[in-house]
Amino acid sequence: MEGGHPLRGTIQVGGAKNAALKLMAASLLTPEPCILQNVPDIRDVRTMERLLAGLGATVERLGDRLTIRAETLRSEAPEEPVREMRASIQVLGPMVARTGRLRIAQPGGCSLGPRPIDLHLQGLIAMGAQVEEEHGVLTVTAPKGLHGAEIHLDFPSVGATENLMMAAALARGRTVIANAAREPEIADSVAFLNQCGARARGVGTDVIEVEGVAELHGTTYQVMPDRIEAATYALMVAAAGGDLLIRPVRTEHLGAVLGKMTEMGVDWAPAGDGLRVRGKGAVAEHYQAVHVRALPYPGFPTDVQPQIMAVLTMAHGTSVISEEVHASRFRQVGELRRMGAWIWTEGRTAVIRGPVRLTGARAEIPDLRAGAALLTAALAAEGNSWLEGVEHLDRGYAALEGRLTEIGAAVSRITEDKEE
């Protein structure tokens, strides 16, 4: 791809990956059909489709619409999709609540440092489940069913909050999850569950209460727009320059990101159901250095930290980024240095000095959001860049190169033939 081309026009934001995957898992709670609309056609969703099918559900896709029927379920998860994606653990709560048993391998996914699932397991144990582990495979059973419990999470984990919330929907009695995550995707899960007949409340707070019911029914539900995708495009136009309308966007979900963009000097404004961003591009001293702390919501999202790092290499002054969610969220740093960035890291802190004029280079994408950061940098860099490992981007962004080309980027995917 060739950098230096401003981005202009309109780009569409798909359904939220981090919401769609959880709603697909929650569909296992009922034998009735669940119809999910605005589901992105991305690699992680396809992996979850294979996982649900392996558990006995049927999944039919028509455009951005998924119909999931989980009438008869198996108690063992297929290993391949579980190893591919960390979000596969989200089927644990629904399966144990619905069927009383699940055998599942430890999940895989992006290597972002240790992300144990002990909070998921501790919560289920408090609700009456029994857990056995052998050779990396978990067997979780609830022979007498799950019951309500008071659970205090050591960390406001999004995955654990959602998993326990889904399990509690069919548990006997009342479950209270304290120090719960507050991400907008949690609200989407609660709305879906309640639409299926659950009784959950506490959205937007750090205490979620769920009154268990005997059964849930099917429903039709629209997945929320992807706030991380929207933030990625906003930072891409900040880096490359131009004038871009990003839609649909719920700007109230992007308060921390938009606040830092304002502090940096990036022009943005709400525009109907979207967000308009005017980027100044990679000209020295157009942006100001800022300090960023990646925190659980409503703090700055860890999934946007790599992208803003790419833009801060172009900002005047010294920026500091503190990553307080994932231990290994700086995997883009070495590749950004190949492009001329000055970045120093120690532990979970990164120091970025700018401005520098990035230049094109050959770089390896190590994970999804690091890939978005490298693409952001390449859009602003002088000359050509070659990014290898683009399959990581496919996990979270649908048809990305085609949509970027439509708004002025000079980017294409090259498929290399391998000799036998």
Q: What is the pLDDT of residues 254-305, one digit of tens each?
A: 999 999 999 999 999 999 999 999 998 876 568 999 999 999 999 999 999 9
Q: Does 184 lie in the same domain as 90?
A: yes
Q: Does 124 lie in the same domain as 105?
A: yes
Whether 112 is in a domain gets the answer yes
Catalytic residue among 110, 124, 200, 409: 110
Show which of 163, 193, 222 is a domain's final residue.
222
Whether 361 is in a domain gets the answer yes
CATH number at 38 reads 3.65.10.10
Domain that holds residue 57: 17-222
pLDDT for position 416: 62
Q: Does 210 lie in the same domain as 308?
A: no
Show which of 222, 244, 260 is a domain's final residue.
222
Q: What is the pLDDT of residues 175-190, one digit of tens each?
A: 999 999 999 999 999 9
196 is catalytic: no
Q: Does 380 lie in the same domain as 253?
A: yes
pTM of the entire predicted model: 0.94
Q: Does 230 lie in the same domain as 262?
A: yes
Q: Does 182 lie in the same domain as 150?
A: yes
Whether 413 is in a domain gets the answer no
Q: Does 128 lie in the same domain as 267?
A: no
Whether 416 is in a domain gets the answer no
Domain tally, the chain: 2
Q: What is the pLDDT of residues 58-88, one digit of tens each?
A: 999 999 999 999 999 999 999 999 988 888 9
Whether 77 is in a domain gets the answer yes
Whether 310 is in a domain gets the answer yes
Q: Does 181 lie in the same domain as 275?
A: no
Q: Does 105 lie in the same domain as 169?
A: yes
pLDDT beyond 80 at 110: no
Q: Does 157 lie in the same domain as 140?
A: yes
Q: What is the pLDDT of residues 192-247, one digit of tens each?
A: 999 999 999 999 899 999 999 999 999 999 999 999 999 999 999 999 999 999 99
Q: Does 240 lie in the same domain as 120?
A: no
Q: Mind spelling out the 3-state secondary structure of the chain?
A: CECCCCEEEEEECCECHHHHHHHHHHHHHCCCCEEEECCCCCHHHHHHHHHHHHCCCEEEEECCEEEEECCCCCCECCHHHHHHCHHHHHHHHHHHHHHCEEEEECCCCCCCCCCCCHHHHHHHHHCCCEEEEECCEEEEECCCCCECCEEECCCCCHHHHHHHHHHHHCCECEEEEECCCCCHHHHHHHHHHHHCCCEEECCCCCEEEEECCCCCCCCEEECCECHHHHHHHHHHHHHHCEEEEEECCCHHHHHHHHHHHHHHCCEEEEECCEEEEEECCCCCCCCECCEEEECCCCCECHHHHHHHHHHHCCCEEEEEEEECCCCCCCCCHHHHHHCCCEEEEECCEEEEEECCCCECCEEECCCHHHHHHHHHHHHHCECECEEECHHHHHHCCCCHHHHHHHCCCECCCCCCCCCC
pLDDT beyond 80 at 417: no
Whether 1 is in a domain gets the answer no
pLDDT beyond 80 at 419: no
Whether 412 is in a domain gets the answer no
Q: Does 280 lie in the same domain as 157?
A: no
pLDDT beyond 90 at 25: yes
